[in-house]
Structure 1
Amino acid sequence: MLRRTLLTTLALASASLAAQAPTLTLTHDEGTATVPLQPKRVVALDEEALGWIYALGVSPRLVGVGSAVLGPGDLTPDGRIKPERIRGTFLARGDLSGAKFVGNWTQPNLETILALKPDLIVRATWQGNGHYAQLSRIAPTVGYSEQGSGYWKKGLRDLARVFGKQEQAEKLIRQVADTNRAGARALQAAGVFRRYPRAVVISPFKGGGTYLYTRTRLIEDVRALGFKDGLKGDANVLGVGGVISDEALLGLSRDTLVIVFPPGGQYNGAQDFLQSAVGQRLKGQTVLYTQEANSPWAGPLVSLRDSPALTKAILETLK
């Protein structure tokens, strides 16, 4: 009886302390959430959220991670990502030693997440994405849409407030801007814009369509490098782009640079596109740019790699 009373008292005391712990209310793209400051057990449901956690240097707090491209074959028997699947990829930029895999970003394993007892869940999202209510019952959950205002800067800054890393976040944002300006100067000095003042970013999916990106996915860095849009398109797929027809691609002017930016993993259809009739027709004005394996689509670490690497690829292709 005494032991039961003591345990009850300790539980009530712990709950009281938790209630008194400092929190922050964030307005995000799925609503509002009151999150604890300096959370110790974090779940990142996809590579996008993972990139922000890595950028802020708080990856040792990860207890769970989801992915758009990883699956059961990439896991150890205890549910962690195999070391060989991490090495040489974006995943190696942080510490995943304490994180278990929690499933595909569109179908997270809610039971696994619940068992991990997170105090914060972070994810990329889009209109119609599910599970927010269930996730929020497990832990405070924040979601950021690629079509949302500021996207990765918003997500990064919000998490920086949560972890007390505001100065680091602003430094990263400045570094991205400085990197793009440096790339723009190099392209200008090489006369690239005289030959190709415009550019498009297209993404061929294996066994599927070719997408024209109009927002977020590499195109914003391309614009920051100094290129104007070579083609207007719908943003009816996740708010970042839409399928583009072969006819539209064949109608591109000769002064438009075509940046082929394939998706990762099993979705990469770049080689099929480049060998197609359309790809061969555009061959003389095409640059292939492939992201780091398991990379998010966007974020500070992504731009700091993609912008100079794309600039180099353009200069080498066109010299």
Structure 2
Amino acid sequence: MRQILKLLLLIVVTLSISACDRTSSQRAISSSCQTIQHALGETQVCDRPQRIVALNPKMLDILLSLDVQPVGYAEVFPIHRGEFDRPSEQIPYLGSRITQPIANLGASSEPSLEGIARLNPDLILGDSGQNKDEYTQLSQIAPTLLFEYVGHDNWQEPLSAIAKALGRSDRSRAVIETHRQQVEATRQALAPIAKAYPEVLMLASEQLTQSLEIVTPADFCGGLLEDLGFQLVSLSDEQPTSIVQSISVEILPQLDASLIFIQGHNVTGFSQMGSAKNLEDNQLQKIQQAWRSHTIAQSLGASQANRVYFIPTYICRAIPSPTGAQLALKQLQAQLSSLSARVNQQ
């Protein structure tokens, strides 16, 4: 009888120890995981991801801003075929900050699922619009976070969420504070111009006669202009629900403003660009020629006063993120420098 009692006691103790081990293990796993909110819900991200895939330039920029290198990348436009073995020459604006070759995963809208799986990633970052249909498949490969892409200041929330997953929240706060300081410094530098020429018309176009859009404050660069103290000319006084509104070139005289900024793009030109360093010439040349040769465009007061400026649409819509903001602020200030000198002399 005693032997039976000893045996039962041994079994109970063993089961108790086993249960405690499982509980401790589960707690350890739980403590190393975080629930990250994103556009498609909540996702558990465990440990600190080391092999991260970015499915668009915005996600790539956020990673690089957090001092994290990706293992794979998908581009929004067909700029380069083959692996990114020379990123500084193959990835516009961001490639110089990539320290080693990375995999080319195709187009952001249709990334290679096979290519992603081969990389064995532990985190995938993408767009809630373009990558929504692949979300289930992507999540089977690795934890996947999808965020809204375009829009004014839509990068700060995903930056903070991704930083939380990577244990880099301090860095994300520093990035946001640096951005705030840059906007304020640029606002002060351009204050005399904003006072002299408060109304700005921002357009986006590839060819004036076939595609012309008026940019609203909901747009990344449109919102940035208003942050700097300018007021965007719009079609109506209603709050915009989209970043752009299609218009015809014939109504431009009704929208004339003191300053005009044009986001220019040339989609077919991407495949002929050669080096990513040629992006601005490649993307702006077509719209600049169209504007300078169009009678209605040249009849506008801003054109006649040489106050029409061009910025690549790629900056405003492909990288609406920390680096995109830095690039836009730098270009705005540089292009308005001569005007600033004239205003200050008055």
Q: TM-score range by the shorter chain?
A: 0.7 to 0.9
- Structure 1 240/129 Cα, relative in aligned 2: closer, same or farther at 3 Å? farther
1:80 aligned to which of 84, 91, 99: 84
2:213 aligned to which of 206, 211, 214: 211
| Whole-angstrom CA distance in 1 between matches of 2:246 and 2:35 | 37
Task: Report the counterpart of residue 133 of structure 1 in structure 2.
Answer: 136
* Amino-acid identity (%): 21
> Structure 1: which 5+ runs fail to align?
1-14
Task: Report the counterpart of residue 124 of structure 1 in structure 2.
Answer: 127
Q: Secondary structure at the match of 2:189?
A: helix
Q: Does 1:108 align with 2:111?
A: yes
Taking structure 1 as the reference length, the TM-score comes to 0.80
Q: What is the alpha-carbon root mean square deviation over aligned residues?
A: 3.2
Q: Secondary structure at the match of 1:261?
A: strand
Q: Does 1:23 align with 2:23?
A: no
| Whole-angstrom CA distance in 2 between matches of 1:30 and 1:208 | 35
Task: Report the counterpart of residue 287 of structure 1 in structure 2.
Answer: 309
- Structure 1 129/111 Cα, relative in aligned 2: closer, same or farther at 3 Å? same
| Whole-angstrom CA distance in 1 between matches of 2:319 and 2:201 | 16
| Whole-angstrom CA distance in 2 between matches of 1:70 and 1:245 | 28
Deviation at 1:244, TM superposition (A): 2.5
Task: Report the counterpart of residue 3 of structure 2 in structure 1.
Answer: none
Task: Report the counterpart of residue 255 of structure 2 in structure 1.
Answer: 252
Deviation at 1:317, TM superposition (A): 4.7
2:166 aligned to which of 159, 163, 168: 163
Taking structure 2 as the reference length, the TM-score comes to 0.74
Q: Does 1:300 align with 2:322?
A: yes
Deviation at 1:308, TM superposition (A): 3.0
Deviation at 1:302, TM superposition (A): 1.8
1:228 aligned to which of 231, 238, 249: 231
Task: Report the counterpart of residue 41 of structure 1 in structure 2.
Answer: 51
Deviation at 1:83, TM superposition (A): 4.8
Deviates more, 1:15-24 or 1:176-185: 15-24
| Whole-angstrom CA distance in 2 between matches of 1:138 and 1:208 | 41
Deviation at 1:273, TM superposition (A): 3.8
| Whole-angstrom CA distance in 2 between matches of 1:197 and 1:295 | 24
Q: Does 1:277 align with 2:273?
A: no
Deviation at 1:20, TM superposition (A): 5.8
Q: Does 1:66 align with 2:58?
A: no
Asked whether the 8 Å contact 1:203–1:211 carries over to 2, the reply is: yes
Task: Report the counterpart of residue 264 of structure 2 in structure 1.
Answer: 262
Deviation at 1:201, TM superposition (A): 2.3
Asked whether the 8 Å contact 1:81–1:101 carries over to 2, the reply is: no
Asked whether the 8 Å contact 2:86–2:101 carries over to 1, the reply is: no
Task: Report the counterpart of residue 198 of structure 2 in structure 1.
Answer: 197
> Structure 2: which 5+ runs fail to align?
1-24, 271-282
Asked whether the 8 Å contact 1:289–1:313 carries over to 2, the reply is: no
Q: Which has the larger radius of gyration?
A: 2
Deviation at 1:17, TM superposition (A): 11
Aligned residues: 293
Asked whether the 8 Å contact 1:262–1:289 carries over to 2, the reply is: yes
| Whole-angstrom CA distance in 2 between matches of 1:184 and 1:58 | 30
Deviation by residue 1:74-130 (Cα, 9 ceiling, x = unmatched): 244xx335456338x413342252420001001111111111111111013328853
| Whole-angstrom CA distance in 2 between matches of 1:104 and 1:127 | 10
Q: Secondary structure at the match of 2:77?
A: coil
Deviation by residue 1:2-55 (Cα, 9 ceiling, x = unmatched): xxxxxxxxxxxxx99995671211121122211224201111001111010111
Q: Secondary structure at the match of 1:35?
A: strand
